[in-house]
Amino acid sequence: MAPPTGTSDAPFGRMLTAMVTPFTADGAVDYAAARRLAAYLVDEQRNDGLIVSGTTGESPTTTDDEKERLLRAVVETVGDRAAVVAGVGTYDTAHSVEAARTAQRAGAHGLLAVTPYYSKPPQEGIYQHFVAIAEATALPVMLYDIPGRSVVPIAPETLIRLAQHPAIRAVKDAKGDLFTSSQVMAACPDLAFYCGDDALNLPWLSVGAAGFVSVVGHVAGADLAAMIGHYRAGEVAAALEIHQRLLPVVHGIMNRSAGAIMVKAALRLVGQDVGGNRLPLVEATSEQIALLRADLVAGGLKITGD
């Protein structure tokens, strides 16, 4: 299926959710639930893009075969009406290159490549790693800058170098340094920035972000899409109202435990059961779920599940 039509300033769409990977009770990937979730995220939560096998998708604990089957299921379900971006980044360049090629064969519209983690490579190694991924396929690439997980950030000078590559079209920024990133944006107007931290969605729009790659978008994607629409229309007060209303939702999902744990609990509370987590992630406690329920209600979300 052909990818959705993008825009030069938002090549992967504007409202994207980093989709969880559903599991069955015995821990297998639940591909049928993944199809249902993808349709829910696009058709009801107004996402025009999905990230498959990112951090929130528990990608470190799924196999290459599982990732490919999951990607194919999502592409077949919503690939005609949303951009489907495959997470392919690892700390092994050769593995990442092969994952990129597999994603292209499976029908992905783009690639998400995280900074190599654990190895703590120098900036030249980071540069060469991303270029190898970018040259492995004909797909556009979104870099993922998240030093809280990778330890090493992508330096602004490295981002400016990488932006010269025609396949590298965007950055998912979870670094939280709006000033430094604004400098990169000014130097590289064709490199789209996406907010990768739900707490900073509205501030990122104010400095020129193309959109969001969200976790909270699983349950509040329609609200976040409306925020983007209001802001781009110059209706800043309306965007601010949504930002402030969703503060307890963002807090509950992102701060009470790992995002992948709490967003699966949140999905159950809004009637979208996607199963549990794979170790080393564990289930939310009853106390955490009770607090999360109150957070979602405070943010105006409708609770329909347990």
Q: Which residues are catalytic?
A: 144, 172
The C-alpha atoms of residue 258 and residue 196 are separated, in whole angstroms, by 15
Q: Are 217 and 15 in contact (CB under 8 A)?
A: yes
Q: Where are the alpha helices (DSSP H) in the chain?
A: 31-43, 64-78, 93-105, 123-134, 147-150, 156-162, 178-187, 201-206, 217-232, 236-245, 247-255, 259-269, 286-298
User: CA angle, 41 as apex, 25 and 61 as ends, to 5°?
Assistant: 40
Per-residue b or e along 107-121, where b marks 16 or more CB atoms closer than 10 Å to that residue's CB: bbbbbbbbbbbeeeb
* 200 DSSP 8-state letter: G
What's the token pair of residue 100?
């990129």
The CA-CA-CA angle for residues 117, 13, 174, to 5°, reads: 30
Inter-residue contact 17 to 83 (CB < 8 Å): no
Helix (H) or strand (E) holding 141: strand 141-145
Give phi and psi for 279, each to the nearest 5. -60, 140
